[in-house]
Amino acid sequence: MNVFIAEDEPPARERLLETLGRVAPTAIVLGTSDSVRGTAEWLAAHPAPDLLLLDIQLADGLSLELFRGGKVELPVIFTTAYDRFAIDAFQAMAVDYLLKPVSEEALAHALAKWQRLRAQVGANIARWLASVPARWRQRLVGRKGAQHHALEIAQVAYVVSVDKLAFAVTLDGNRYLLDQTLAELESELDPARFFRASRQLLIGAHAVKQYASAGKGKLKLLLQPETDGEVIVSQERAGAFKNWIEQ
| Interval 125-156: pLDDT, tens | 556 556 555 568 889 999 999 999 999 999 99
CB 237 within 8 A of CB 216: no
> CATH for 2-131?
3.40.50.2300
pLDDT at residue 126, rounded to an integer:
58
- The residues spanned by each domain of the chain are 2-131, 139-245
pLDDT at residue 125, rounded to an integer:
59
Residue 67 phi/psi, 5-degree rounding, is -100, -5
Query: What's domain 139-245's superfamily in CATH?
Result: LytTr DNA-binding domain (2.40.50.1020)
> Which residue numbers in the chain have pLDDT < 50?
none
Percentage of the chain lying above the pLDDT 90 cut: 62
pLDDT at residue 128, rounded to an integer:
58
Whole-prediction pTM? 0.50
Cα–Cα distance for residue pair 202/209, rounded to 1 Å? 15
User: What's the whole-number average pLDDT of the chain?
Assistant: 88
The vertex-229 CA angle with 226 and 235, nearest 5°, equals 105
